[in-house]
Amino acid sequence: MNLIPRNKRMKPWKSLLLGAALLSACQQQSGDTVSFTVKNNLDLDRTAETVSVPANKVSKLLQEYGAENLLIKDDATDSLLVTQAIDNDQDGTIDVILFQASLKANEEKKFTIEGAKDGAARQPKSKLTTYSRFVPERTDDYTWENDRVAFRTYGPVAQQLVEEGKEGGTLTSGMDAWLKRVDYPIINNWYKKNEPEPGYYHIDHGEGYDPYHVGASRGIGGIGVLEGDTLYVSRNFTGYKTIAEGPIRTMFELTYAPWQVNGRTIQEKKRISLDLGSNLTRFESQLQSDQPVPNYTIGITLHDKKGEVKGNPEQGWFRYWEPMDDSFLGTGVVLVPSAVQSFKDHRVDTKDQSHLYVITKPANDKLVYYAGFGWEKSGQFTTKEAWDQYLASFAKRVASPLEVRF
């Protein structure tokens, strides 16, 4: 039975137009979102790990709405996530969009990227952040941090002061550690308070402090070329470029003057990044030599040699656990096992020259590794066993990145 009066029925051509309009609306709506999955292929839980979405997977959304108006949603909770767009090569075009996800062992999660005209206004704000900057007010440090750790290294003015025999200089391409016990940023505050009160950040006022001595050593993760018992190294960085400040990742580049390795000349550039929630900084060193080199060696200073070295070349992690004032500090290096030649507990009487050496194989003029620390007083790691477990887990996660499928 037809319940619609004949004169009220829709004409066939109007029905076709309505159908076309509905189809067009559906296509537009589906075109404003892109769905994808993230899979954890390990038998361990992964907490707040960074996921990278290639820009070419969402190019239409980027063109239509711009990176600032793209929203990423966790489908299971229907909640929007903090994101960060990065132009890796600084050519004016976004290369990746980052967010963080937590997945249990072998879990797969679904996510949706949505383009919205008001996306920027709807973006959730991060309570935590990463940060880095050049610090001209303290000679010329470059400093970086996240919610767990902080680092710094030294520029050409600091080198010049040493070479001219003046006070306040530092001659090293080693990496310094600032020990934090708070999750908020401390870099600007510590430098500001250090100006009227020199040495302020060498005292723990409740947020942490800088007791870590680098000197002429490699600090935490500086590199060189090891021949015999001699480690050949660069001097201070000569230039810098800030690429990203946060909230999920801070990233920058350091360049170095050519340096000599027993008659060879090395050209070096480092791209350094630190993600939210990580105790380890990622180092990507571009290294070119006019003649073959036997290795590139990553160093961790052993200070007064009262600590304990441990390494697992098969898994790709190495560490030093040492007393630090009235507490303990774990330092470490992680890299893919295939890059490792060997490691060495190198202890000598010469000041600042005792190191844990991780000796790597030169490959394609690039060396990628992670280096960082865990401080007992931060509450993150209270034993060397806990630090070992963190490094072993980190190495597994490096070897098996989260799988992103569109």
Q: How confident is the model at residue 36 (pLDDT cuts 50, 70, 90)?
A: very high
- Share the mean pLDDT of the chain: 92
Q: How confident is the model at residue 30 (pLDDT cuts 50, 70, 90)?
A: very low
pTM of the complete model: 0.91
pLDDT digits (tens, 9 = 90+) for 256-268: 999 999 999 999 9
pLDDT digits (tens, 9 = 90+) for 268-316: 999 999 999 999 999 999 999 999 999 999 999 999 999 999 999 999 9
Spell out the residues 6+ positions from residue 287 whose beta carbon is closer than 8 angstroms to its own: 266, 267, 268, 296, 362, 365, 366, 367
Ordered by where they begin, the domains of the chain are 32-122 (2.60.40.1180), 131-400 (2.70.98)
* Model pLDDT, residue 280: 98
Dihedral over alpha carbons 216, 209, 220, 284 (to 10 degrees): -110
Placement of tokens 């404003």 in the chain? 32
Q: Is the pLDDT of residue 188 over 90?
A: yes
Dihedral over alpha carbons 354, 359, 363, 368 (to 10 degrees): -60
Q: How confident is the model at residue 31 (pLDDT cuts 50, 70, 90)?
A: low
Q: Is the pLDDT of residue 199 over 50?
A: yes
pLDDT digits (tens, 9 = 90+) for 346-389: 999 999 999 999 999 988 899 999 999 999 999 999 999 999 99
Diameter of the chain measured on Cα atoms: 103
* Model pLDDT, residue 183: 97
